[in-house]
Amino acid sequence: MNPTPRVTFLLSVRNAARTVGATIESILAQTMSDWELLVLDAASTDATLCVIGGYRDSRIRVVASAYRQPLAESLNRGLAMARADYVARIDADDLCLPHRAGVQAEFLDAHEDMAVVGSQIETFTNDGAAGPGEIFKIPFDPAVVAATLLLRNVIAHPSVMMRKSVLAAHGLAYDRSLGHVEDYDLWARCVTARVGLANMSDVLVRYRIHAAQLTQCNAAKDSAAAAGVRKRLIGCLGLRPDAETLAIHEAIASDQFIADAAFISDAAQWLSDLAEANQRRRLFDHPALMRLLTGRFVSLCRFAARNFLPAPDVQASPFTAWLHPGVQV
């Protein structure tokens, strides 16, 4: 085994005997061979360890825990144990495309200002693993990725490759108190630490959709935790919104506008407040954030028109100069 491989695949697993074999095979099929697979088993009670043990490859390293570690704790342990500086996440029910490790490592080689790079993902189901699935198109320009985090997570956790040394230098690690949005929280703290984030335009990971996923089983709790991440980002802009304003932010973030004149007015004002706060603090690349907020402002104006409500005053807003020529609001 190479003591310092180019890439460490980090896989935290519990009771995934039915799917982990396919995940491992997708790593074994990588076109770049200079990697290690670090598997941290969180006290599995099924045949997971037997399945993993069936793969006789010196690049596979298994660390079994006697107790069920929270995912964030397991991942922090894995980051500390990883031999490579480039650490690629993958989950035990997802698949890497063969060129994933090579192209992400090349990206980080070429972009020393980037510490985290994700990719586009394609979904598949247990019943149709071989067929084409839905491709989630997410932004890949670093400035747009960071700005969009103010509204939603646009970095798919199983697709990321991280530069371990940069995260460690900034004291960045997963927060075990965040439930299953520990990744979103980490990306947000990367933004506040001025650590570069990006996505590649390639599909590099296939993401399995099934009923037992943690993200589906904990949806309500995760939604509240994700709102907390956004609240902290808003605080870093120097804003201290009340509960009503935070609810407006969540409605804007999820495109769930309310057909009410007061909501339209308040939402338009909040978008302006965000723009002006970032103008002062420059937490996000300002043109990237303005394009994002202008898009939400246009959507809000059109929603108001469809519901026969008074539209926000476009000319009085900070978004007029950011409208594309010919856009009707």
Mean pLDDT per 10-residue interval, the chain, length 329 residues: 90 96 98 97 94 96 89 96 98 96 98 97 74 82 98 97 98 90 97 98 91 57 92 98 98 97 98 98 97 97 96 92 77
In the chain, the number of structural domains is 2
Give the global pTM. Answer: 0.93
Residue 177 maps to a domain: yes
Residues 262 and 140 in one domain: no
pLDDT of residue 87: 98
Residues 100 and 148 in one domain: yes
Residue 226 maps to a domain: no
Residue 49 maps to a domain: yes
Residues 241 and 188 in one domain: no
Residue 227 maps to a domain: no
Residues 74 and 166 in one domain: yes
pLDDT of residue 328: 67
pLDDT of residue 327: 65
Residues 134 and 256 in one domain: no
Can you tell me which residue has the tokens 């407040």? 273
Residue 192 maps to a domain: yes
Residue 117 maps to a domain: yes
pLDDT of residue 260: 97
Final residue belonging to a domain, choices 149, 183, 217:
217
Residues 86 and 49 in one domain: yes
Residue 222 maps to a domain: no
Final residue belonging to a domain, choices 148, 182, 217:
217
Residues 23 and 131 in one domain: yes
- Residue 184 · residue 153 · CB < 8 Å: yes
pLDDT of residue 126: 73
HEC string of the chain equals: CCCCCCEEEEEEECCCCCCHHHHHHHHHCCCCCCEEEEEEEECCCCCHHHHHHCCCCCCEEEEEECCCCCHHHHHHHHHHHCCCCEEEECCCCCEECCCHHHHHHHHHHHCCCEEEEEEEEEEEECCCCCCCCCEECCCCCHHHHHHHCCCCCCCCHHHCEEEHHHHHHCCCCCCHHHCCCHHHHHHHHHHHCCCEEEEEEEEEEEEEECCCCHHHHCHHHHHHHHHHHHHHHHHHCCCCCCHHHHHHHHHHHCCCCCCCHHHHHHHHHHHHHHHHHHHHHCCCCHHHHHHHHHHHHHHHHHHHHHCCCCCCCCCCCCCHHHCCCCCCC
- Residue 162 · residue 87 · CB < 8 Å: yes
* Owning domain of residue 297: 237-322
Dihedral sign from CA coordinates of 228, 156, 82, 18? positive
Residues 138 and 278 in one domain: no
Residues 189 and 304 in one domain: no
Residues 264 and 304 in one domain: yes
Find the CATH number of the domain harbouring 201: 3.90.550.10
Residue 228 maps to a domain: no
Final residue belonging to a domain, choices 155, 185, 217:
217
Residues 144 and 253 in one domain: no
pLDDT of residue 133: 75
Residues 212 and 289 in one domain: no
Dihedral sign from CA coordinates of 27, 59, 61, 101? negative
